[in-house]
Every structure is written in C-alpha cells, then in structure tokens.
Structure 1
Amino acid sequence: MFVFFLPLLFPPALSTISKPFRQFVHDRFGLGVADLLAREDLGEVGSYGGGEHLAGEKTDNLPVIFVHRLLTGASSTRPIAAFFMSAGGYTDEELYATTYGPRGTLLWTAAMECQFAQALRYFIIAVSQFTDSQVNVIAYSLGVPIVRKAMLGGGCVDGGDLGHGSLTRYVNTFLAVAGPNRGVLSCSLPLSQLRTACNPINGLRCNSRFLNDINSRKHYEAQIVYVIQSTGDLTVGNLVCGVQTTAVPGADYTLTFEGLTHLQVITLTVQQQFKLISQHIAN
C-alpha cells in the first residue's frame, strides 16, 4: 500500500527549531552552530523540531531526524513528519530537520561539500544529547551520501575535518531512501565531469574521492541500516559503474519497489518508511 501526504496535513503552526532546543544547542555548541542548525535566514521553512521538550529528558519514541534532498530544505520533509504524528503518535518533540546548504540553486552546480556534512553531524549529536537517547535518521536522495559522510566523520576530500570517529553510537536506525551511494548515472556521460556535481573530487561521478571515502567502510551509519529503492528510478539510475547505486554497503535489509520514479519512491513509501523506523517491519 502506498501512502502520499500533502504538506497541508502538517499542523499549520510552522516554525524553526524550538526555543528550548535552540538554547540547548547555543549552550552546548555556541551561537554559530545554533544559527547554522536553526537556519532562521530561511524563515520558518529552515528547520523544525524540539517542541517544549526539556533538555536531558527522554522522549516516548526515539527522535527521528529527516535529511532532505539536496537543494530543497527541511520543510520538504514536513509531510512525512505529519504521517509519523498521525499514524504513530509522534510529537514535535520527537521529529527534527534542518536545512543544510543552499536552496533552489541548479542541481548541476552542487557538490557533496564538507560544510553540509558538518551541519548534519552537529544536528545528529545535538538531537541525541538534547533527548538523552539514540536517534533514528531517514535520508532522501542526495541527502543520503551527505549524511553518511556526517556519520563517518574524519577528513573531507574537499578540505576540512569532521572530527574523529563515526556516529554509530548516536544512531539506532538509519534508513536510506533512493540515495546515489555509488554515483549518479548521468555523471558517467562524456564531459559530465566538467559539471560541479560530477567532479571527481566531491562530486557524484562513480569512484569520486568522496564516494570512495563513504563506501570504504560498512555499517558505520547506525546499529541497523535499511534501504528503500526502486528499479524505475532513472534520476540516480540503477547500475552505476556496474554497482547498484542506491545500495548501502552492509545494509541489514533492502526494500525494492518495481517501477517507481525517483520522486515516487520518496513520497509514495511513507508507510513503509514509518514501519521500518518505528516497528522494524517492511509491510
């Protein structure tokens, strides 16, 4: 059964991350990180989560962090968060998202930048510490390889360092939905490497230094790793350089749909996403 929810189903009172959560981040990591995660420069669509939760207290459900598609934003995941609220009894104290990177620019001008991974790494640690628990993470499309780098840590191929050690202990379950972990098929076309998104350093050309880095180890993302993919995803492709690009090395379970497009596998599998995260079942 496929379920699609429109943004109108999300509660109308939109806001960025809550004041208690923002204050916690400010106290723990400083003003710069608080601004980075709140993304108030984007208005109410820049981030969400936290509610009136008291720092250090556990929530009824493990918090869920949604990692949006590159160049969209935190608000694009609100319809999925709405389903978690209506179907699973989650509250705004348990559902989180931040906007990493710019919004609305051309996809071909974007790469897997270290600063994007750094923001997500801060966010995962902050939510975990704010709720004194592990978190669950669902990532979509190009958000998948970026957050995998955030989880892996270490040096960035484009310069910078995320700090030592993976975030495995912070994350209970990681769900990767339609993520180009081995590259994007169109980046294999002649002269595609001239595009920023397909550059051989931190681009989505197969065997780029970035992709080789995040695939150099297995099962570092979380205690449990799931994948949702589709044979009809022509946006990222299926086989890229002979490997299923949406697969995550060492995943515990992969749910494959037939014929869904890239956008459909993200928006029409909300029920399956919920069950995998909250119940660890696929159907």
Structure 2
Amino acid sequence: MLVQIICHSREFVEVSRMHEYYEDFAGFGNLNSFGGRKYKNQPINKRPVVFIHGNSDGALAGHGGDWNSGWSKSISYFMSHGGYTTAELYAITYGVRDITKSLENKLTCGTATRLRRFVDAVLEYTGAEEIDIIAHSMGVTYARIIIQGNMRILHRCQLGAPLKSKINKFIAIAGANFGMCICADSEGETINDTKRVPACSKEFGFWVGPSCPNYSDVSLCSENILPCEDNSGDILAKLNYSRDDAKYIASFWSTNDTIIGPNNMAYGWRTSIVEGTKKEMKYDGLTHYTLKTDTVSDQLKILQLELEFCAKLED
C-alpha cells in the first residue's frame, strides 16, 4: 500500500517548512502526500518526478471511484517497472477531495503558491538540477502556472522566476488548455448557459469564449472545423503565449473524454494539447480518469527517453 510522505524523510518536511508548506503537509493525512527518502543519505539516481492531480482528486487513491484515483498506479508502476524509489517520486494534495464541489473550484493564487513551494522543496531536498512533471486535468493548468512563474493576471501572484530551465519532461494528461465547451457562452461563468460556476470563470476558469465567425453559435464549440482565434479565458490565453514550458512536452488526450468534451475540441483547437508539444498521444475508449490510470506504461516510456533520441518517438 502506498502511504504518505515517508516517515524517515523529516529532512524533506523541514525543507518544506522553510517554503511555508508545512501546515498543508500536517493536515492532509495518509492518502494525500507521497515521497521522500526511506533512510538518511539514500541516493537519488533518477530525475525526480512531481505529480500534480486534477480537480477534486488527490496524491494517492482514495474512496469514491475513478475521479479519486490519485497517482497510485503511476507510482507503483514506476517503482516496479522503472526502478524508481520513494526518494524520486513526489505528490501532494492541493484541494478538497469532493467531486460534488468540483464546479466550485477555479484557479487561485493560493493553490498555485502552495504547489510552487512544493516543487521548490523537491528541487532543494533532492538537489536535482531538473525534474519531470506529470499532471492531469486542472493539474495541467496549475503545472503551467507554476512553471511560468510570477503571474500578474492571477491576482498578481508572486510565484518566483520561471522554472522552465528546470523541467525536463512535462506530461500533460487531459488538460483544458483552450477551455472546455461545457463553459461556452457569451458571458462566462455559466455551464451550458444555465448556472454560474467558478470553474467556468472568464478570468480564472475554463471559459472557452463566445462564438466566432467560424461557429454560428456556441453549440458548435466541439465541432472539428476551422479554429477561431484563441479567445479563451484570461489566464488560459496568458499561458498559451508560452511554447517552452519544458524541454520536452507530451500531451495525452482521449476521444472518449466526456469531461473535456466531444472530439477534444474547443472552437477548433485540440484543447488538451499544450503549446509546444513534441508528442501527441491519442487514445480511444479511455475516460477522463482512466486516461491517467491506464497509460502508466506510456508515461514511463516518455520519462525514460533521452532528449537526443526524442525525435524517434515523434516519427
């Protein structure tokens, strides 16, 4: 059974305390954190991996179904098939694990700050020059925020300098980089034009924008036709200006993802593709959640690539 931050890794907790993150560690419990050395001076031989979960999920698998599956399958697979140790794999929970409240969650400076401090702590604790990040759903957006650094548009969020030079591989699974068609309307912050929800906020959510000349109305948002100019919400548009969030980016998406929406489209944009993606991984039949849990072998293959050979994967 996978458990919380390893008890021998007090040094990691102390580093995290310096980064104003200790309170969050203390309150999360057994299934809500993972990582650290099993014993003092345990060597770190692989590039550390930081996992960032999606909306209402957590670090490790909890109760309730696929939406609460955490990163347990990835962590177990990486350890059994990739030779990783607990000292090289890190995850933390950043929000309430309650799917019924998922539409109440928008992007916040507070969460971005806590996640950035966690990543900073992993870098300091491991002494690694670079790390890899694997993120799912809303976690993809948070990963991009903390990588790009200070985010004026997010309540002048002071996150520190960009981390791009320290991110080797970034695997983005089921992200909504151009918004979600469920949030398509003319005003923003509504779901299917009926209910105002923070998750669809124009400024800090996954608003996809109003209709455009290529689409006569918002009901066509998910159609696979010519793209509009990117007119997604404020923070998404800001993030999409960047094309180098990591040295190598892989984006995973599924044709059966009912959360992101039909065809994975947002007014002509494949919304799960991060700008600057080098490898697009398309799957049929996987859901929004099994796209994370049932692709662990592909996740590991990408992490194991050396950059000079990455071109082979793109062929």
Structure 1 and Structure 2 fold alike (TM over 0.5): yes
Q: What does residue 33 of structure 1 align with?
A: 21
Offset at 1:236? 0.6
State the alpha-carbon separation in 1 of the partners of residues 127 and 285 from structure 2: 41
> Who is 2:226 aligned against?
none
1:15 shift after superposition? 2.4
Structure 2 unaligned regions, length at least 5: 61-69, 186-191, 209-231
Alignment partner of 1:212 out of 237, 261, 278: 237
> Are residues 41 and 268 of structure 1, via their aligned partners in 2, closer, same or farther at CA, if it must alter by over 3 Å?
same
CA contact 2:32–2:93 (8 Å) conserved in 1: yes
Aligned CA distance change for structure 1 residues 58 and 251 (closer, same or farther; 3 Å):
farther
Structure 1 position 261 matched with structure 2 position 277:
no
Partner-residue secondary structure (3-state), 1:255: strand
Does the 8 Å contact 2:36/2:88 carry over to 1? yes
TM-score where L is the length of structure 2: 0.78
Match of 1:223 in 2: 247
Q: Is the 8 A contact 2:71 2:293 kept in 1?
A: no
Q: Matched residues in 2 for 1:72 and 1:135: separation? A: 22
Deviation at 1:141, TM superposition (A): 1.1
Equivalent position SS for 2:87: coil
Q: How does 1:1-283 map to 2 (within 5 A)?
A: 10-11=1-2, 14-16=3-5, 18-26=9-17, 28-29=18-19, 32-36=20-24, 38=25, 40-52=26-38, 59-75=44-60, 76-104=70-98, 106-133=101-128, 134-188=130-184, 190-191=192-193, 194-206=196-208, 207-219=232-244, 221-237=245-261, 238-279=264-305
1:94 aligned partner, one-letter code = E
- 1:35 & 1:109 partners in 2: Cα distance? 23
Structure possessing the higher radius of gyration over alpha carbons: 2
Structure 1 segments unaligned to the other structure (5+ residues)? 1-9
Offset, 1:193:
7.2
- Letter of the aligned partner of 2:10 in structure 1? K
Aligned counterparts of 1:156 and 1:116: Cα–Cα separation in 2: 15
Q: For 1:239, give the aligned amino acid.
A: M
Sequence identity of aligned pairs in percent? 29
**Offset at 1:155?**
2.4
Distance of aligned partners of 1:152 and 1:179 in 2 relative to their CA distance in 1, 3 Å threshold: same
What secondary structure, in the 3-state scheme, does the structure 2 residue paired with 1:81 have?
helix
Deviating above 4 A after TM superposition, structure 1's stretches of 4 or more consecutive aligned residues are 280-283
Q: How many residues align?
A: 265
Q: TM-score, normalised by structure 1?
A: 0.86
Q: Describe the SS at the equivalent of 1:45.
A: coil
Amino acid at match of 1:226: A
- SS of structure 1 residue aligned to 2:71: helix
